Amino acid sequence: MREVTNETISMAAAGDTAAFEIIYRAHAGLIYNTTFRLLGNREDAQETTQEVFLTVYRKLPSFAHRASLTTWIYRIAVNQAINHLRKHGAARQQTVEFDERIDERLATSRVEDRLEHQAREKIVAGLLARLSPEQRTCIVLRNLEGLSYEDIAATLQVNINTVRSRLKRAREKLMAMGRKRSGNGL
C-alpha cells in the first residue's frame, strides 16, 4: 500500500483532487474487499465503496489523527456496510451471491483450480451469511484483512475483549454449523 503522508491528507482536505486520489488508490482495495465480504455482492460493495470515499472526502478536515488514516477509513466503511446490512440485510443475506466473475484471472487457470476456488468462495459466502453483522465484521477484518485485535478494536471503537468475545462466538457458531453438516458432535 502506498504511504499517505500528512501533507497529502492536508492537501486533500483543502480540496486537492490529485492528493485525494492518492488516498483513494491506497485504500480502495482494502475497502472494496471488506465491503464485498460484508455485503456479499459486487454491486453493493461498489456502491458502498463509492459512498465511503465521498464521506472520507467530506469529513477529511475533521480527521484528528487520533487513529491512523487507514483505521479511520475502515471505521467509516464498516459503519456504512453495517448500516447497509441492517437496512437491506434481511432480504439479501439469504441470497448471498456467489459471483462467478469473482476473479477473471482464474479464467486462464486449470479447471481443477477454478472449481476448488469457486467451491471455497461458496463456502466463505455461506459461512459469513450466517453471522450477525458485528460477528461478520470481526471475522472479515481478522481472517481476510489480517487486522490485529487492537486494530479491530480501534476500527470498531470497542474494547479488545469485545473483539475477542465476538470472534469466539462467531467461530463457535461456524463450528456448530460444520458439526451439523457433518453430523459429528465433539
Total of chain residues touching other proteins, rule CB under 8 A? 50
Cell 460477528, residue located: 135
**How far is residue 172's CA from residue 165's CA, in Å, rounded to a whole number?**
10
Looking at the chain, how many residues does it have?
186
Q: How far is the CB of 16 from other proteins (least distance, A)?
A: 8
Q: Say which DSSP state 141 is in.
A: I
Backbone angles phi, psi at 13, to 5 degrees: -65, -25
Query: Using CB under 8 A, which of the segments 42-50, 66-74, 80-88, 89-97 binds other proteins?
Result: 42-50
Angle (deg, nearest 10), helices 69-93 and 149-156:
70
The residues in 123-182 that bind other proteins, with binding defined as CB under 8 A, are 123-124, 127, 139, 142-144, 148-149, 164, 167-168, 171-172, 174-175, 178
Encoded amino acid at 52, one letter: V
Q: Say which DSSP state 55 is in.
A: H
The residues in 47-66 that bind other proteins, with binding defined as CB under 8 A, are 49-50, 53-54, 57-62
* Binding-site ranges for other proteins (CB under 8 A): 13-15, 17, 20-21, 24-25, 28-29, 31-33, 36, 46, 49-50, 53-54, 57-62, 102-103, 105-106, 117, 120-121, 123-124, 127, 139, 142-144, 148-149, 164, 167-168, 171-172, 174-175, 178, 186
